[in-house]
Each structure stands twice: as C-alpha cells, then as structure tokens.
Amino acid sequence: MWNSTLGWYASRYWLFAREGEQIALARKNWGNEVYSDLELLYADYLRREGVRDNAQRTAWEAECKEREVEFWQQERQG
C-alpha cells in the first residue's frame, strides 16, 4: 500500500472526515472496528512522512487542510 497512492489518499480522507466530525458520527452509528483500523493507518502514514511529534503533526495537518477544497474539487472531477 505504501508503494501506491492509497496511503496518501486515505490519510487525507481520514483527516478531513475527522475534522468534519463524520468519523465521530460513523463510530456512533456503526461502531469503532473499521475506524480504529483507519486511525492506525493514519498514524502509520504520519510516521512514514517523518511526523514525529505534535508540533509536526499540527503543521502537517494545517498544510493539508489548506488544500482541502482543491482536494475535493479534484476528487469530484475524477
């Protein structure tokens, strides 16, 4: 998976869904099993990107969120 773009996309989907509270709602409605796996995947992706502490994580997430609108526009275009 890390040799493809899947980790890149999954990390952003997780971040944007978490920030938009969709993850919390999905956990409430459907349980935690799938989402805990995605949360672990996200943490592993951050480690692979060299994010080692909370300050780096905050900066990395802020940079991603600056491009969230563009991300969703490109996703809609296919």
3-state helix, strand, coil split of the chain in percent (to 5) is 80, 0, 20
Residue 73 backbone zone (phi > 0: left; psi -120 to 50: alpha; other: beta)? alpha
Q: What pLDDT digit, counting tens, does each position of 15-70 carry? A: 998 877 888 888 888 877 777 888 888 999 999 999 999 999 999 999 999 999 99
pTM over 0.85: no
